[in-house]
């Protein structure tokens, strides 16, 4: 069966790395993104920019029909915003993260659960910030907690439609133009930061992320699982044993 993978946020960052990876596997990809990409012109890939306004979800069906993938989407990867500072106004910033990380994924997944057949997997990419890290933005942390809780809530409904729901929770990821790469002026600054972690002294590699996502999609026995890729950094969090419901 041919695969058609839908990726949110596929114009840059982890989403773009996934697009590149699936291209090497000759897997069709299309993404919904809030921003245009400077890096996808040489890829066999389509990015739909019409969904910048997350409130206009009624557009989804017509847009996907236009791109000839209606009812042929096999796997959806919910790749979301990072935790960089958005506004000095706390309420505005919290609402921003709530929208791009939680509400957008909730609305999209509800739409696909209701209107599409033939989807095999939902994979939600999350962050170790959901473990209440003191080093993470408050609004970002809450949005990731809400997203994880929601992904668990829809597992049974999704399973009744033969959709496997899983989560991939990531630690610090370093890739071209990432928020981390912009923090380091040179390799020495990067090495200095890594030494402070006192663990594996490395960032999560995007290739490992791609391979893990591929495993989740291909392995029919994986359902309701959370896979953590964080180079051991979760153990550094002040309350890493906390539940999302605590």
Phi, psi of 64 (to 5 degrees): -70, -35
H or E element at residue 181: none
Residue 4 corresponds to which tokens in the numbers above?
């058609």
Give the torsion through C-alpha atoms of 28, 35, 103, 64, to 10 deg.
-40
Q: In what order do the strands lie in the sheet with 164-170?
A: 45-48, 28-32, 4-8, 75-78, 121-127, 164-170, 226-229
pLDDT, position 191? 76
Residue 225 corresponds to which tokens in the numbers above?
């699982």
Residue 33 CA to residue 15 CA, distance in Å, equals 9
pLDDT, position 112? 85
Residue 173 CA to residue 231 CA, distance in Å, equals 10
pLDDT in tens, 70-126: 557 899 999 876 656 656 677 777 787 887 788 888 888 888 888 788 899 999 999
Dmax over Cα atoms in the chain, in whole Å? 51
Residue 58 corresponds to which tokens in the numbers above?
């009624």
Residue 49 CA to residue 56 CA, distance in Å, equals 12
pLDDT at 238 over 70: no
Of 91-95, 157-161, 180-184, 201-205, least confident by mean pLDDT is 180-184
pLDDT in tens, 157-172: 999 999 999 999 998 8
Alpha-helix runs per DSSP H in the chain: 13-24, 60-66, 90-97, 104-115, 138-153, 155-160, 187-197, 206-218
pLDDT, position 122? 96
Residue 53 CA to residue 102 CA, distance in Å, equals 15
pLDDT, position 86? 59
pLDDT at 63 over 90: no
Answer with the residue of higher pLDDT: 203 or 151.
Answer: 151
pLDDT at 64 over 90: no
pLDDT in tens, 17-52: 898 899 888 888 888 776 666 665 566 666 665 444
- Strand, helix or coil for residue 63: helix
Give the torsion through C-alpha atoms of 14, 19, 23, 28, to 10 deg.
140
3-state secondary structure labels for all residues of 15-30: HHHHHHHHHHCCCEEE
pLDDT, position 29? 84
pLDDT at 180 over 70: no
- Look up residue 39 and give its DSSP letter: S
């Amino acid at each position: 069966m041919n695969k058609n993978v839908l990726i949110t946020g596929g114009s840059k960052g982890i989403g773009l790395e996934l697009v590149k990876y699936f291209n090497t596997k000759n897997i069709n990809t299309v993404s919904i993104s809030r921003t245009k990409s400077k890096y996808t012109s040489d890829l066999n890939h389509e990015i739909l920019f019409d969904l910048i306004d997350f409130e206009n979800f009624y557009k989804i069906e017509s847009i996907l029909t236009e791109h000839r993938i209606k009812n042929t989407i096999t796997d959806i990867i919910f790749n979301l915003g990072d935790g960089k500072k958005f506004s000095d106004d706390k309420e505005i910033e919290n609402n921003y993260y709530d929208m791009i990380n939680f509400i957008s994924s909730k609305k999209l997944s509800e739409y696909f659960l209701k209107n599409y057949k033939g989807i095999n997997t939902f994979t939600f990419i999350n962050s170790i910030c959901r473990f209440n890290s003191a080093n993470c933005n408050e609004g970002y942390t809450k949005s990731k907690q809400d997203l994880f809780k929601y992904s668990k809530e829809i597992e049974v409904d999704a399973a009744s439609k033969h959709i496997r729901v899983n989560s991939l929770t990531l630690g610090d990821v370093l890739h071209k133009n990432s928020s981390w790469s912009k923090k380091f002026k040179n390799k020495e600054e990067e090495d200095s930061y890594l030494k402070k972690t006192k663990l594996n002294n490395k960032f999560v590699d995007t290739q490992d992320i791609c391979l893990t996502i591929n495993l989740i999609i291909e392995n029919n026995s994986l359902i309701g699982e959370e896979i953590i890729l964080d180079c051991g950094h979760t153990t550094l969090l002040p309350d890493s044993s906390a539940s999302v419901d605590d």
